[in-house]
Amino acid sequence: MKNKAPENTGINSSDDLLELLEPANYNYSPVTPLKPDAFEIDDDTKIELIEKHFSAIMNILGLDMNDDSLKDTPKRVAKMYVKEIFSGLNPANKPDITLFENKFGYNQMLVERNIAVKSNCEHHFVPIIGKAHVAYISNGKVIGLSKLNRLVQYCSKRPQVQERLTVQIADEISKALGTNDVAVMIDAYHHCVSSRGVNDPDSSTVTTEYRGKFLHADQRVEFLKLIGK
């Protein structure tokens, strides 16, 4: 009996296999998903609308909205969302970047460690708390050190997943300095893991983004050594 001819699966390469295995609706973009009209509503109107919706949520939960401690909570939450913890959604809030000429010819990596990361998980809207370590190698410009902190804060102040946050920080540093020689590491605790679900308070998540010269093993080793990893 002759062997049956192999069935044509349509898989002719590893790329075809990867495409088949990938979820069709997975968003690989490093851009935070926003509606096209996201900024047509001004901040005051957003606060007013969120206040009404959050008040409805509290009512559904059975809370007494006449209580002195609770009656102003919807407005406080609305202002916090728009003006504070999600203010990084609006490009108008992007920090101004101060650059200086690298007159001293410093051509080694510059590392800033332990930058506070305070973000919120886009799946459950609970905190992501941790530290970011960033590095770059100058191609002629250097950045005011506090601006690295501000770029991390700007990218963090939006609903996030840590992978996207890591890439966004690298993108902003790279664009600001005009260099691809950038490294970013984030080590963070997710309250969606520690305070709900599996309730594991000790596990943290580490993500990295290496570009340019940091793709070379010796540069990565030096970076990791300098940040104490």
Strand 141-143 to 99-101 pairing: antiparallel
Residue among 48, 124, 191, 222 flagged as catalytic: 124
Say whether 124 is catalytic.
Answer: yes
Residue among 172, 190, 209, 219 flagged as catalytic: 190
Say whether 122 is catalytic.
Answer: yes
Say whether 123 is catalytic.
Answer: yes
The rounded distance, in Å, linking the Cα atoms of 23 and 185 is 27
Residue among 19, 84, 108, 123 flagged as catalytic: 123
Instruction: Kindly state the DSSP code that residue 46 receives in the 8-state scheme.
Output: H
Say whether 192 is catalytic.
Answer: yes
Residue among 153, 160, 162, 168 flagged as catalytic: 162
The rounded distance, in Å, linking the Cα atoms of 88 and 157 is 4
Give the Å distances, CA to CA, from 219 to 16, 119, 172, 203, 208.
Answer: 34, 29, 21, 27, 14
Residue among 122, 163, 191, 222 flagged as catalytic: 122
Residue among 48, 112, 191, 192 flagged as catalytic: 192
Q: What is the DSSP string of 7-44?
A: P--S--SHHHHHHHHS-TT----SSPP--TTTTSS-HH
Residue among 112, 121, 163, 222 flagged as catalytic: 121
Sheet of strand 159-160: strand arrangement: 159-160, 109-121, 127-137, 182-190, 205-210
Which of 174, 169, 193, 183 lies closest to 220, judged by CA?
183
The rounded distance, in Å, linking the Cα atoms of 229 and 207 is 13
Active-site positions read 121-124, 162, 190, 192
